[in-house]
Amino acid sequence: MKTAGQTKALLSADELARLLLSVAAEQDRLAFAMLFGHFAPRVKAFMMRCGLSDAAAEDIAQETMLAMWHKASYFDPRRAAVSTWIFTIARNQRINRLRRERVQQADVRLDPSDEPDSPASGEDIAIAADREQQVRSALSALPTEQATIVRLSFFSERPHAEIARELGIPLGTVKSRVRLALGRLRTLLDGDA
């Protein structure tokens, strides 16, 4: 009598392809279960040999098998063997996991904006005051409706939808006026006017 392990080891490449094609065509749960039983332990062992913990390797194996179920229709037996196709999915799952972990670690690092600002020098204060005066002058050169929207949007930090409700004008008009005002301000501040 064959044990489950012996049965798994005896599946030929053609049988594996037939099972996967059955999953793709008919969403055959029995075929999927046989593929799962055959590949999940192999994927897990491979991931552990790649340095992942037991739990992480188990997660990758589960994610790989789920991806196999969802992507079975993409399998083409003329292009690759089932094992090659599944282990490519597993490799991609591992890469995605490493990327997610890297992003999470980057989020934990200190944010440079958390550092206190160094005291402004006299020159910095003079430059900022001059720039503020230029902005005020440019704002006063805008049509009243554009200047009002710029003040509400940028100085009061109000969302465009809220500005539209408050002023009783369409949202598109608010966005259009902001765009026109910013273009005009840019021209005025760059000295091209």
- 49: in domain: yes
> How high is the pLDDT of residue 109?
58
Residues 167 and 89 in one domain: no
> How high is the pLDDT of residue 192?
52
Residue 105 to residues 48, 87, 93, 112, 163: CA-CA distances in angstroms?
Answer: 22, 27, 18, 15, 39
- 128: in domain: no
Pair 61, 34: CB distance under 8 Å: no
Q: How far apart are CA 87 and CA 43, in angstroms?
A: 7
> How high is the pLDDT of residue 112?
62
> How high is the pLDDT of residue 3?
44
- 65: in domain: yes
Last residue of a domain, one of 50, 73, 108: 108
pLDDT tens, the chain, 193 aa long: 344 444 445 788 889 999 999 999 999 999 999 999 999 999 999 999 988 899 999 999 999 999 999 999 999 889 889 999 999 999 999 998 888 888 777 665 555 666 666 677 777 788 878 888 888 888 888 899 988 988 888 888 888 989 999 999 998 998 999 899 888 888 888 875 4
Residues 8 and 102 in one domain: yes
Q: How far apart are CA 123 and CA 81, in angstroms?
A: 69
Residues 18 and 65 in one domain: yes
Domain carrying residue 68: 4-108
> How high is the pLDDT of residue 18?
93
Pair 174, 165: CB distance under 8 Å: no
At 184, is the secondary structure helix, strand, or coil?
helix
Number of domains in the chain: 2
Which amino acid makes up residue 116? P
> How high is the pLDDT of residue 1?
39
Q: How far apart are CA 21 and CA 72, in angstroms?
A: 7
Whose CA is closest to 71, among 60, 57, 82, 58?
Answer: 82
Query: Which distant-in-sequence residues (6+ apart) come within 8 Å of 36 by Cβ?
Result: 65
Considering the entire predicted model, what is its pTM? 0.50
> How high is the pLDDT of residue 125?
80
